[in-house]
Each structure stands twice: as structure tokens, then as C-alpha cells.
């Protein structure tokens, strides 16, 4: 029996009359790769064929979204394969791209290039290899590598598996990672506020998300206005990096009449405002604001101020009539925050508020209230003091002295009279 004539049928039985074709060859891809809820943005296969006494394994890999440099593929080849050799560049008559695209409509979706690989045999006994994509893969491209070995004598089947692990860059319009949420400002009576968020994936051409709430984050209150942004790229490139420019159109808009308003926009992730580039102030606001009903101008538009650290923009407005808006442009630079444990840039996140006094709101007047009854016991009434005699002595005026002093004087006078009488009696 010629080992080259051995392959496995689709039902699992050994086909001993095969002539080196892929007759009976089957492959399995992890259910995590293609399911009803997740369609892999790419392809990854194991191709196998026998030529004479040689066994061949080819691994095409392609991606819709960019794969980061350092992506690894672990290949577990049959343990009994002898003289295993890694082939990083496939020799084809018309070149790799033409060869792969001719294989079918799925392969034709990609541009195929020779890869930049590092191949390391990590387990000699089990014939396990680690292949590193040194430069990753650009979006909508693919590459392939191959192993060749001697078919083991007497073998009736061969099985190989491969596992790809790498960081995939987000596609245009896709946002990755946890997003911080804005706080709700403290309000005084009759103040109203919007609580909004702008999210921009640095790899996207435009703003990805504009979340808009009134009163507080996640509130179901009717939306009466917004504070948000439009955006576009100034410095273009396939790989955004620290220092690259982005332009934002920042705006405030209100459907209700508000006064003493403040627009606040805060860079909480990914950007830094460049105050020197503030330009193109529009009143009413530019872009799609007019088409969305914000056709009136604001009154008393104050100076556009940037904080010293370049993270916060504030604008005061004396009066925003109903259905009014304003906008201005500013350039920003990427600050380079990345997703945890990843080379991928984190999304740009702005927290935004438009806060002012609702002109239709009236602060309720406080009504006087009756004091609550005291719990203290009622004191007993104090008996009145004795009323002094109102009849003064016949020969003394009332000067404030009380009655007992007058009585004492009368007694002393009486005693003096008795002593005088006794003296006269002794004289006689």
C-alpha cells in the first residue's frame, strides 16, 4: 500500500484508492468563528493534499479588518510527520494573489500578499509550531503559509489544527471598549440641562455615536435641546497615532427658550482641544442644525474659552430663543489612550452639557405656615402679689417707700410719747 494513496473519506472511513487529490478531505471551523449571531470578518482555513510521499498543509488567512502586528497562529501538525519544513512563500505560476483569487468568490474578496512570518517549533515531540505575523494584515488582505513533510509509513489518516490569536482593529463605524458616562450637573430652581455624549472611533471617518438626554443621563424626559459635535479627519492615514489632527464642529441647540445659558464640552478620552484653532463661528449653527429646526440665532454669545489643560470648552449665552443654535470649529490632537492590554486606540469621548434657565418656569412662592403646636407643658399661673395701701400718711408724701416703713415710724413715735409721760410723772 502506497501511503500517497491513503486519505479519509467524508464518512470517516479510510480511502485506499485515492490518488493524491483532496478526495474525502474534510475540515472543521470553530463554531465561535461563524454562527448566526457572529460572522467572521475574514477567513482562516487549513488546506491539505498528498503528492507522492509528501504531505502538504496550507493555511490561508485573510481579514476584513486590520490585524495587529504580532498576531500568532499555533499549528498542531500530526505527531508522526517526518522532516517537517515551513514554507513562508508559496511558489505559484501566476503569483499568490491570482492563484488565491481564482479559487472562489470568497477568496476573490481579498488581495493576497506574501507574508512576513516568524516560524518557531514550540513542541518537537508533538510537532507544534507558532507562526507570528510580524506586520499583521491590512484590511481586506490575506496571506498564506505552508508545511511539507514526509507521509508517515503505515498511517491511515492525518489530522492538523490551527488557532489564530490576534488583535483586530475596529472597522469604520465600530466602537470598542467601555465608554465613560457623563455626570448630571447640580441645578438651581427653574434651570434645565441636557446631558450628552459624543463618541468617535479614531479609525472611523466620522462621529460614531451622539447620545442625547434631558435632565440626566439615560433620562426619558423629552429632549428639548442638545450639546454635541460633528467631526472629520485632517491628518489622514491608515494608522492613526498620537498627535494626529481631528476637526470638530461643536454646537449648542435649544428648542425651548432659555436664558443665562452655558455650553460645556469636555474631552474625557482620546483628544485635546487646541484653543488657537477656534474658527468658523456660525449663528445660527452650521451643518444639519437648520434642517433639524434650529433656525434662530442666539443673543449675547460670549467668548469661547478653553481650559489651560485643553480638556474643556465653555461658552456663555445670554439668551437662546426657542429653536436657536450656534456652532464653531476647533482642531484637536489625538492623545493616544489605548484599550486595556491592546495597541488599539481607545474611542474619542466628549461629555457635553447645555444648561440654562427655562424662561417658562416660575419658582413657586412659599406660603406662610402656622407654627406647629409646642410639646412643652403649659406653666401654672403665678398668683398676684399683695396690693399695697393707696392711703398715704397724713404728714408724708409717697416717695416710693412701702407701707411697713410707715408703720415702723408710727410705732417709734408712740414709744417716744410714753417716755415723755413717764418723765413728767417722775418730776412731779
Of 141, 119, 28, nearest to 75 by C-alpha is: 119
**Residue spans per domain, the chain:** 3-165, 191-358
8 Å CB contact between 221 and 215: yes
CATH topology of domain 3-165: Immunoglobulin-like (2.60.40)
What's residue 416's pLDDT? 41
d(CA 54, CA 26): 19
Question: Average pLDDT, stretch 369-397?
Answer: 48
What's residue 92's pLDDT? 83
What's residue 203's pLDDT? 92
Q: Phi and psi (nearest 5°) for 362?
A: -120, 125
Q: Name which CATH class applies to 191-358.
A: mainly beta
8 Å CB contact between 282 and 218: no
Cell numbers 467572521 correspond to what residue? 40
| pLDDT tens per residue, range 306-352 | 999 999 999 999 999 999 999 999 999 999 999 998 999 999 999 99
What pTM was estimated for this model as a whole?
A: 0.71
8 Å CB contact between 72 and 90: no
| Share above pLDDT 70 across residues of the chain, in percent, rounded to a whole number | 74
Same CATH fold, 191-358 and 3-165?
Answer: yes
The residues with which 55 forms a beta bridge, in sequence order, are 50, 149
Amino acid at each position: 500500500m502506497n501511503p500517497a494513496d491513503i486519505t479519509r473519506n467524508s464518512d470517516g472511513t479510510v480511502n485506499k484508492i485515492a490518488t493524491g487529490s483532496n478526495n474525502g478531505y474534510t475540515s472543521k471551523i470553530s463554531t465561535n468563528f461563524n454562527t448566526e449571531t457572529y460572522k467572521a470578518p475574514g477567513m482562516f482555513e487549513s488546506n491539505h493534499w498528498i503528492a507522492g510521499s509528501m504531505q502538504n498543509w496550507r493555511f490561508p488567512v485573510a481579514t476584513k479588518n486590520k490585524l495587529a502586528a504580532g498576531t500568532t497562529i499555533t499549528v498542531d501538525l500530526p505527531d508522526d510527520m517526518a522532516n517537517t519544513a515551513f514554507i513562508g512563500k508559496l511558489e505559484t505560476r501566476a503569483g499568490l494573489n491570482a492563484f488565491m483569487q481564482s479559487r472562489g468568490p470568497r477568496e476573490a474578496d481579498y488581495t493576497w500578499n506574501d507574508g512576513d512570518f516568524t516560524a518557531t517549533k514550540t513542541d518537537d515531540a508533538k510537532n507544534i509550531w507558532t507562526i507570528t505575523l510580524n506586520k499583521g494584515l491590512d484590511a481586506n488582505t490575506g496571506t498564506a503559509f505552508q508545511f511539507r513533510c514526509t507521509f508517515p509509513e503505515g498511517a491511515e489518516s492525518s489530522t492538523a489544527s490551527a488557532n489564530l490569536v490576534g488583535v483586530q482593529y475596529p472597522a469604520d463605524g465600530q466602537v470598542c471598549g467601555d465608554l465613560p458616562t457623563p455626570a448630571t450637573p447640580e441645578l438651581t430652581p427653574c434651570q434645565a440641562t441636557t446631558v450628552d455624549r459624543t463618541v468617535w472611533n479614531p479609525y472611523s471617518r466620522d462621529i460614531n455615536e451622539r447620545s442625547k438626554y434631558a435632565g440626566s443621563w439615560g433620562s426619558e424626559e423629552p429632549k428639548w435641546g442638545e450639546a454635541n459635535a460633528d467631526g472629520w479627519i485632517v491628518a489622514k492615514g491608515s494608522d492613526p497615532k498620537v498627535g494626529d489632527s481631528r476637526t470638530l464642529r461643536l454646537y449648542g441647540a435649544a428648542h425651548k427658550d432659555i436664558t443665562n445659558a452655558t455650553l460645556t464640552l469636555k474631552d474625557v478620552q482620546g483628544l485635546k482641544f487646541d484653543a488657537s484653532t477656534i474658527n468658523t463661528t456660525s449663528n445660527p449653527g452650521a451643518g444639519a442644525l437648520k434642517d433639524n429646526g434650529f433656525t434662530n440665532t442666539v443673543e449675547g454669545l460670549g467668548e469661547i474659552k478653553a481650559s489651560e489643560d485643553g480638556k474643556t470648552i465653555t461658552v456663555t449665552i445670554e439668551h437662546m430663543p426657542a429653536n436657536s443654535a450656534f456652532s464653531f470649529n476647533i482642531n484637536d490632537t489625538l492623545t493616544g489612550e489605548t484599550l486595556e492590554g491592546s495597541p488599539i486606540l481607545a474611542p474619542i469621548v466628549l461629555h457635553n452639557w447645555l444648561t440654562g434657565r427655562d424662561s417658562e418656569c416660575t419658582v413657586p412662592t412659599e406660603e406662610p405656615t402656622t407654627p406647629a403646636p409646642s410639646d412643652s407643658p403649659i406653666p401654672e399661673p403665678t398668683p398676684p402679689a399683695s396690693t399695697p395701701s393707696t392711703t398715704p400718711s397724713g404728714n408724708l408724701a409717697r416717695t416710693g417707700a412701702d407701707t411697713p416703713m410707715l408703720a415702723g415710724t408710727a410705732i417709734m413715735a408712740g414709744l417716744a410719747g410714753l417716755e415723755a409721760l413717764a418723765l413728767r410723772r417722775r418730776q412731779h
